[in-house]
């Protein structure tokens, strides 16, 4: 199925296989190995780690070249990773790269992002995984700096690996010349004023998700929002074990 001499790299995203961001990522990553793309057939933004359990999914082979296969999948980003590794790749890939997302996935966006959800899924399966996002939602954004930093981090992951249970979240600011890379933490924050009410043509209320990000730690110079605001690409290691270990002993007396 696959050429075992080169690293096998799975690429996915949440904006869909036709988005500019994933195509810029494919160009950047292609020199590093054999690339198989399994990406949603259309936009799946905000899908988090959603899985499709009540309907079947379908897969179409869009491109079949030496060292580059591209599949479109009707499922979520996590479905793409699962079916890619379980059915399409022939073996576990050496690296998963998800993105380049159109828009920031810094701070609490890791919880909602399908791009990050795909990287977390790779991590669960035991594949060194990286999510890459650019802080620009435009369809025609300039992905050159994000692709450069994404490739650079991907090379380091291929060389050094990642520990079990940890993946990486890279966000790149939308500026012509990024100053460098900072490693830090997920910024604490939340969204406020989240809905805009409108009337549909029959006069009934509908609600559109919108809102403003509220940074709960603006003075922290070690987190991803600080790095992005100051011209740096922000790299945050994430773990899939969400246990708040320090709190276990605090509620031990709740045991019955």
Among residues 181, 213, 215, 220, which is the contact residue for its own copies, using CB under 8 A? Answer: 181
Name which position in 22, 118, 182, 226 contacts its own copies (CB under 8 A): 182
Rounded to whole angstroms, the Cα distance separating 54 from 56 reads 7
Taking the complex as a whole, the smallest distance from the CB of residue 18 to its own copies amounts, in Å, to: 15
User: Nearer Cβ to its own copies, position 23 or 45?
Assistant: 45
Q: Tell me whether residue 20 or residue 166 sits nearer to its own copies (CB atom).
A: 166
Chain positions 197 to 236 lying near its own copies, rule: CB under 8 A, are 197-198, 200, 204-209, 235-236
Cα–Cα nearest to 128, from 91, 83, 94? 94
**Which residue lies nearer to its own copies by CB, 65 or 243?**
243
**Per-residue binding letters, 12-51, with its own copies (x by CB under 8 A):** -------------------------------x-xxxxxxx
Cα gap 230→82, rounded to integer Å: 36
Q: Is 125 exposed, middle or buried (0-12, 13-18, 19+ CB in 10 A)?
A: middle
Least separation in angstroms between CB 148 and its own copies: 11
Taking CB under 8 A as the criterion, which residues in 50-109 touch its own copies? Answer: 50-54, 56-59, 78-79, 82-83, 86-87, 108
Chain centre distance of CA 233: 15
Which one among 2, 20, 32, 237 touches its own copies, defined by CB under 8 A? 237
Token code pair at residue 191 = 């969204």
Exposed / middle / buried, residue 171 (Cβ in 10 Å: 0-12, 13-18, 19+): buried
Q: Considering the complex, what minimum distance in angstroms separates the CB of residue 121 from its own copies?
A: 8
Query: Please, which of residues 135-174 interact with its own copies by CB under 8 A?
Result: 152-153, 156, 163, 165-166
Three-state DSSP class for residue 127: coil
Decide whether 32 or 57 has the Cβ nearer to its own copies: 57
Determine which residue in the list 32, 183, 220, 229 makes contact with its own copies, applying CB under 8 A: 183
Which residues on adjacent β-strands are paired with residue 166?
239
Which residues have C-beta within 8 Å of that of residue 147, sequence separation ≥ 6? Answer: 24, 25, 27, 28, 100
Let me know: does 77 contact 47? Beta carbons within 8 Å. yes
Identify whether the C-beta of residue 206 lies closer than 8 Å to the C-beta of residue 82. Answer: no
Q: Cβ of residue 5: shortest distance to its own copies, in angstroms?
A: 26
* Residues 149, 170: Cα–Cα separation, whole Å: 8
Number of residues this chain uses to bind its own copies (CB under 8 A) = 78
How far, in Å, CA of 116 to CA of 186, rounded?
13
**Residue number with CB closer to its own copies (139 or 239):** 239
- Binding test (CB under 8 A) with its own copies, winner from 13, 104, 129, 186: 186
For residue 120, state whether it binds its own copies (rule: CB under 8 A): yes
Interacting residue with its own copies among 20, 32, 124, 229 (CB under 8 A): 124
């Amino acid at each position: 199925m696959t050429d075992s001499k080169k690293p096998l790299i799975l690429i996915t995203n949440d904006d869909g296989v036709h988005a500019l961001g994933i195509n810029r990522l494919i160009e950047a990553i292609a020199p590093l190995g054999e690339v198989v793309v399994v990406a949603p057939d259309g936009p799946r933004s905000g899908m988090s780690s959603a899985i499709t359990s009540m309907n079947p999914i379908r897969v179409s082979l869009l491109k079949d070249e030496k060292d580059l296969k591209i599949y479109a999948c009707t499922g979520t980003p996590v479905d793409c990773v699962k079916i890619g590794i379980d059915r399409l790749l022939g073996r576990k890939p050496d690296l998963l790269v998800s993105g380049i997302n159109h828009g920031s996935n810094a701070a609490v966006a890791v919880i909602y992002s399908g791009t990050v959800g795909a990287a977390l899924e790779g991590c669960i399966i035991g594949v060194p995984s990286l999510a890459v996002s650019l802080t620009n939602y435009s369809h025609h954004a300039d992905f050159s700096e994000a692709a450069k930093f994404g490739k650079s981090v991907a090379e380091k992951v291929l060389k050094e690996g990642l520990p079990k249970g940890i993946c990486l979240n890279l966000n790149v600011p939308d500026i012509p010349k990024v100053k460098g890379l900072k490693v830090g933490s997920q910024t604490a924050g939340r969204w406020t004023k989240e809905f805009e009410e409108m009337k549909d043509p029959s006069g009934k209320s509908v609600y559109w998700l919108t809102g403003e990000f509220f940074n709960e730690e603006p003075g922290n110079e070690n987190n991803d929002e600080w790095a992005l605001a100051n011209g740096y690409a922000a790299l945050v290691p994430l773990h899939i074990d969400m246990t708040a270990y320090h709190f276990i002993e605090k509620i031990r007396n709740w045991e019955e």
